[in-house]
Structures are given as structure tokens and as C-alpha cells.
């Protein structure tokens, strides 16, 4: 997990996504959502794919990646 006492960097982090955790390879303060390109602060990162090694900002972005043709939920 993120070491809050080590060097943090100020740009985009390079992250290795693991089962239930992630490892910061290159320090930074955020990663980008693979679907929306939204900046995701590392301390708010909740959704990612181990197989695809990419992060997602929301559950809807996860669904978009794995089921691109699925109908969108009604708001």
C-alpha cells in the first residue's frame, strides 16, 4: 500500500495492481481512470483490474470496460 511517510511525488504514480492491494512503483499523487481519464488520488483508489493492470474511477467505469455494449443504467 501507499507509504504516506515516504516521498510522494506530485504527478501521476506508476502502480502495480495486485489482488486486494496495489504497490506504488513510481511515486505520485494520483493514477488515471482507464475509461474516463479522470485523476484518482491514490488514497481514494478503490477499483482496478489485476489482469488489465488499469484503474477505474467508479463502478460504472468498471462495467464499461468489461461490458462495453451493455445498456447504461437509468438515473
What is residue 59's three-state secondary structure?
helix
Spatial contact of 47 and 22, defined as CB atoms under 8 Å apart: no
**Which regions of the chain are under pLDDT 50?**
1-6
Residue 52: the pLDDT is: 97
Identify the pLDDT of residue 42: 96
Query: Would you state the pLDDT for residue 5?
Result: 43
Q: What is the pLDDT of residue 8?
A: 55
Closest CA to 34 of 64, 72, 74: 64
Which of 45, 41, 9, 15 lies closest to 28, judged by CA?
Answer: 9
Amino acid at each position: 500500500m501507499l507509504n504516506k511517510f515516504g516521498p510522494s511525488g506530485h504527478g501521476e504514480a506508476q502502480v502495480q495492481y495486485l489482488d486486494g492491494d496495489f504497490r506504488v512503483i513510481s511515486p505520485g499523487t494520483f493514477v488515471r481512470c482507464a475509461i474516463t481519464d479522470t485523476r484518482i488520488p491514490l488514497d481514494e483508489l478503490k477499483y482496478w483490474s489485476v489482469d488489465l493492470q488499469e484503474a477505474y474511477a467508479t463502478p460504472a467505469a468498471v462495467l464499461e470496460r468489461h461490458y462495453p455494449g451493455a445498456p447504461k443504467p437509468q438515473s
